[in-house]
Structure 1
Amino acid sequence: MPSAPGIDAIADAAPLSLCAREPHVPADRLVAEMVPPPRFDSVRFSTYIPDPNQPSQTEAVRVLEGFAAGLGGAHAVGGGGRRGFLGLGKARAPKTPAGPRGVYLDGGYGVGKTHLLASLWHATPAEPALKAFGTFVELTNLVGALGFQKTVQTLSGHRLLCIDEFELDDPGDTVLVSTLLGKLVEAGVALAATSNTLPGKLGEGRFAAADFLREIQGLSARFRTLRIDGEDYRHRGLPEAPAPYSDEQVTKAAHATEGASLDDFPQLLGHLARVHPSRYGALTDGLRAVCLTGVEPVPDQSTALRLVVLADRLYDREVPVLASGASFDRLFSEEMLNGGYRKKYFRAISRLTALARDGARLVTTD
């Protein structure tokens, strides 16, 4: 099977397969890649199409445009002389407790929150090196790669930090991110984040959130919340996702498509357990399609959460997915879909369904 273009040491001469890849990602690459992913490289506020039945979407655009314009001044450093954000106050005297230093986009999956967050990044009048964009998982991975103090030092010179898919999955992350954002706010960095959960509810149903209420409330105090209502745009007015194909159809399409990978789904799930989620983006480098045989419900929560991260990276990179076996809406059990991570799982189903529509074009009818 031919090797995908653009793949270097990650794949070597191995057959084109995700399971054959064990990428190593240096820390400087993690920093350099803190920009909007390819899917959102060209989005702007002007390309966001608000649902006319959801006025909160139009209001979010208005507020975020003003937020971006307010970031055009000199970068504030230290405790005093900070610019006001979102009309939330004028410059403060030194040592005055800071109010909200950013904006938090709350809403269901598929209402365009990432589109708006990336548009904010693009609209902020600063050099790309002074703006950072990444998912919550990528931010915690950066701390793991650089260390806490080096991460603070690296991001403190930024004008804006955008955090997509803000999630608090365990107490350690709660304390880590709360402390990190506190340091960045003190350095004058503006914050923007998206999530499916209101700031005060982060961590609910996942761990003993009450034991960490102080940290969670501290995070909430750093943001002004903008609620964005609406339906999942990925399914609004679109046909249903294609039914799974046969193993033969998927295999044939993989061999006929340059740059496609072909993997047995259970084997891929096992491989994901051996690759750190921070490397899932590199795992998909150069792929033009992902073909999977034998898709079946995931066996446990840890496996499910790893699959969510892979789905996010494939969606960011607009990689079509073609699969046989179970349909994507059967990946997660009812218990999972009713648990504390349910919004992650629904997001993954939504995104994989969209990629499955793109993958349908790989199947030829003879």
Structure 2
Amino acid sequence: MSLPPTLDPVRTTNLAREALDIEAQAVLSMAGRLDDRFVRAVGLLLSCKGRVVVMGMGKSGHIGRKITATLASTGTPSMFVHPAEASHGDLGMITATDVVLGISNSGESEELTAILPLIKRMGVPLVAFTGRASSTLGRHADVVLDTSVEKEACPHNLAPTASTTAQLALGDALAVALLDARGFKADDFARSHPGGALGRKLLTLVSDVMRSGDDVPRVSAQTSLMELMRVVSAKGLGMSAIVDADDQVLGIFTDGDLRRLIEKTGSGADLRALSAAEVMHPNPRTVRADVLAVVAADLMEAGCITSVLVVDDAGRLCGALNSNDLMRAKVI
């Protein structure tokens, strides 16, 4: 594809690098300014009995929505309230048990500053993200966190770019500090993300995805090889368990075992007289039904196998699964 004649590749690349450098420096500079005010802000949000109510206009509002989502997904109940809508009834969403996080680079967004006296009258603590501590937002806040930047990444120093990056990064820092203080763990994160990849890995058990009952191929040790092969084919797992009368797992026989048997004995050998006990692989790898499915996936990967048997506490066969089952469940 040919480039438009007005597009200078060198200038375009240099501008992009400069924008990234400016924004990176804005974040690094803000990191160096963190002090006890940040700790006080974390303390206010941590002790909040209600919700963290995030507010911001324009680009700061977009950043506020992302911060709201990050806080909520990491153990801090939060919601976004649009400042303009707050003046028309949505202020009723805020209660005395909440904490407000107001975001404005200038600290003078009219829609936000108009409701600050009402928020303070309710006795609701206010944390401010602003580039001007002396602004209206800064003066009303209980804690002011400095998000000022030397300049925007915009070549005209106008479009909110570095300033919104600083706000976003500080919001992430706040969320990380809060989740650590709460003792928020990976499994807590998974419970709030059941539809995500991490949620599936940390919540899906072997029992959720395994085959059970008649779908599990099994034969006795005395079963003939011909019957064993029929069971393997019928059940569609590419293998069969060999069990005793109490369903204790004695071994496993797979498609791969059959290929290796033929290679060893030769294609002309009569295998009909062989029993399952003679051709099985003894002491196969097994997993428990109550472990995470990702554990079974790791076991199969480590052993270079595609199927695994599932046993109960007593070692009795209760299920089976293969890599296709794990892929369908999106565990792998």
The reply to whether TM is greater than 0.5 is no
For normalisation by structure 1, the TM-score amounts to 0.26
Length-normalised TM-score, structure 2: 0.28
Bigger Rg, which one: 2
